[in-house]
Chains A and B, each alone.
Chain A
Amino acid sequence: MQLGNPSSSQTILLPVRVGTILGSLALALLFNFLPWHNIALVPDFVALVLAFWCVRQPRLVGLGAGWLLGLLIDVGNGVLLGQHALAYSLLAFAAIALSRRILWFPLWGQALHVGALLLFAQGVSALVRLAAGAEFPGWSIAVGPLIGAVLWPVVSLLLLLPQRLPASVDETRAI
């Protein structure tokens, strides 16, 4: 186990439940829809949680989930239909492609990778809007993804919590 991933080499995680994934994504949507005072400083929670599940469970959560979530965000925010759908599908693709690599790093190293991913997704949606004729709102749009990257260790600890809890502790078991 010397080569194992340092953040989770100590514990073997329980299999993930689909309910946890769905619940966390719904909660992220709810967080995105909260009436925030300054929208520029708020990270995109859905992108963050989506990236987390794409890295951890690439076989369960992928491009389709990202696309659907993006569509919901587009409708909820009243922006061009397909803007976030495109950004999230690309984000999911990149996260799945990098998932093996990301899990080798400690949490802060993972956060750096995720920051790059979130910036990439924000860049895609900015590109779409600029192509549709919007005005560039300034570099403040890069602040949200960076704050999202800072939140990555917290989010990743919280979302792994259900998998860390023992199902039933058997003291008398030999192995």
Chain B
Amino acid sequence: MEHTPPPFFNRGPAPLVRLAFFATLSLALLVLDARFRYAESLRSVLVYAVYPLQALATLPAALSDRVSGYFVSQSQLREENIQLRAKLLGASQTAQRYEAALAENGQLRRLTGAAERLPLKAMPAEILYNGRDPYARKVVIDRGSQGGVNAGSPVVDENGVVGQVTRVHALSSEVTLLTDKEQAIPVQVVRNGLRAVAFGAGSSGMLELRFMAANAEIQNGDKLVTSGIDGTYPPGLPVATVARIERDAAYAFARIVCQPAGGVESGSYVLVLGGEQKRVAYPEEASPEPDKRPAKIRKARRKDADAAR
């Protein structure tokens, strides 16, 4: 105590001590967040500190969008209108057929007593900006928990599945795109009903079907839709088209690369699908009988030994 400097020269703890303190704190936070997901409450508090700055930062782009919207020329509007009309005509015919099929499907399901599929709720949202993390593929949309978005909801655009809501803030949500390395989606080949799981392939902007046997019945140009067996993605949404198949006899699995159907990396408007899904509970696992097999093996061994004698 006698050797402490007078308060005039006191500069607090040494820089190395401070570094050790803050580095340990950061590492602890990292482990808590990455391994145990305990840091979500701290994150949800800090989001309110960051939100005003983020809102301010997205303001110029939104304003310029609005201003340029006023100066769209009439010819441009007319052209766009004609295109949209043609598209609507095509879509409405498909929709009529879809409605008829849906009604018929409902009747059949009622006849067989199967659970009726609940209608989906779709909520339009605008993509605010691309995620600023170069290590992940995410976008931020302008609907949050106040707009009724739930974590885990699928996000689609007019052509197919785009991704999944992975984190919800009050006024915005983060959507992880299908092309993210850690994103997986259960799919089904339309042609023959083959089930598979598609994973993101990272920076190439493609999807990959992993763990498909080298002789799996799949061809270039096959369309993949969601299979719906996970209870998260509703069945039948277009996901991707098979673009390239490499079958190598040296490997047990084929390398299957698919082109996403939705505008995963482009486009500015998306639909967030909500609505309750009836999820069937997982069946209970059959209780293993631990005593049976060893006994059998033992018996068999004894038999072998007897035979050898």
Which of A's residues lie within 8 Å of B, judged by CB? 26, 29-36, 39-40, 59, 62-64, 66-67, 70-72, 75-83, 85-86, 89-90, 93, 96-97, 126, 128-129, 132-135, 137-138, 140-141
**A75 with B26: CB separation less than 8 A:** no
Nearest chain B residue, comparing its CB with the CB of A77: B132
**B46 with A75: CB separation less than 8 A:** yes
B contact residues around A35 at 8 Å (CB): 57-58, 61, 128-130
Which of B19, B46, B128 has a CB less than 8 Å from the CB of A72? Answer: B46
Complex CA gap A26/B219 in Å reads 54
B contact residues around A128 at 8 Å (CB): 30
A-B contact pairs, 16 of them (CB 8 A): A26-B53, A31-B57, A33-B57, A35-B57, A35-B130, A40-B134, A78-B131, A80-B30, A81-B39, A81-B42, A82-B25, A82-B26, A85-B29, A86-B22, A86-B23, A93-B15
Complex CA gap A32/B27 in Å reads 23
> In chain B between 17 and 35, which residues have their CB closer than 8 angstroms to a CB of chain A?
18-19, 21-23, 25-30, 32-34
**B23 with A89: CB separation less than 8 A:** yes
Q: Does B94 contact A (CB under 8 A)?
A: no
> In chain B between 51 and 88, which residues have their CB closer than 8 angstroms to a CB of chain A?
53-54, 56-58, 60-61
Given contacts A39-B132, A39-B134, A76-B132, 6 further A-B contacts (CB under 8 A): A64-B18, A72-B49, A78-B138, A89-B19, A93-B19, A132-B30
A contact residues around B296 at 8 Å (CB): none
Nearest chain B residue, comparing its CB with the CB of A94: B19
Supposing A96-B15, A137-B203 touch, asked if A89 and B22 sit within 8 A by C-beta, the answer is yes
Which of A26, A75, A89, A141 has a CB less than 8 Å from the CB of B134? Answer: A141
Nearest chain A residue, comparing its CB with the CB of B29: A82
A contact residues around B60 at 8 Å (CB): 34
Q: Does B136 contact A (CB under 8 A)?
A: yes
Which of B11, B26, B128 has a CB less than 8 Å from the CB of A59? Answer: B11
The B interface, classified by DSSP as helix, strand, loop or mixed, is helix
A contact residues around B23 at 8 Å (CB): 86, 89-90
Complex CA gap A129/B30 in Å reads 10
Q: Does B195 contact A (CB under 8 A)?
A: no
Q: Does B167 contact A (CB under 8 A)?
A: yes
A contact residues around B29 at 8 Å (CB): 81-82, 85
A contact residues around B22 at 8 Å (CB): 63-64, 66-67, 85-86, 89
Supposing A72-B50, A78-B138, A79-B136 touch, asked if A86 and B26 sit within 8 A by C-beta, the answer is yes
Q: Number of B interface residues, CB 8 Å?
A: 47
Complex CA gap A93/B28 in Å reads 19
Q: Lowest 5 A-B CB distances belong to which pairs? A: A35-B129, A82-B29, A86-B26, A33-B57, A134-B135
Complex CA gap A39/B132 in Å reads 6
Q: Does B47 contact A (CB under 8 A)?
A: yes
Q: Does B299 contact A (CB under 8 A)?
A: no
Q: Does B174 contact A (CB under 8 A)?
A: yes
**B34 with A63: CB separation less than 8 A:** no
> In chain B between 133 and 178, which residues have their CB closer than 8 angstroms to a CB of chain A?
133-136, 138, 140, 167, 174
Q: Does B43 contact A (CB under 8 A)?
A: yes
Nearest chain A residue, comparing its CB with the CB of B182: A133
Q: Does B228 contact A (CB under 8 A)?
A: no
B contact residues around A137 at 8 Å (CB): 134-135, 203
Which of A29, A89, A135 has a CB less than 8 Å from the CB of B135? Answer: A135
Complex CA gap A31/B56 in Å reads 10
- Distance in angstroms from B54 CB to nearest chain A CB is 5
B contact residues around A31 at 8 Å (CB): 57
Complex CA gap A133/B132 in Å reads 18
B contact residues around A64 at 8 Å (CB): 18, 22
Q: Does B202 contact A (CB under 8 A)?
A: yes
Q: Does B247 contact A (CB under 8 A)?
A: no
Q: Does B181 contact A (CB under 8 A)?
A: yes
**B136 with A134: CB separation less than 8 A:** yes
Nearest chain A residue, comparing its CB with the CB of B56: A30
Nearest chain B residue, comparing its CB with the CB of A125: B135
Nearest chain A residue, comparing its CB with the CB of B54: A33
Complex CA gap A77/B174 in Å reads 10
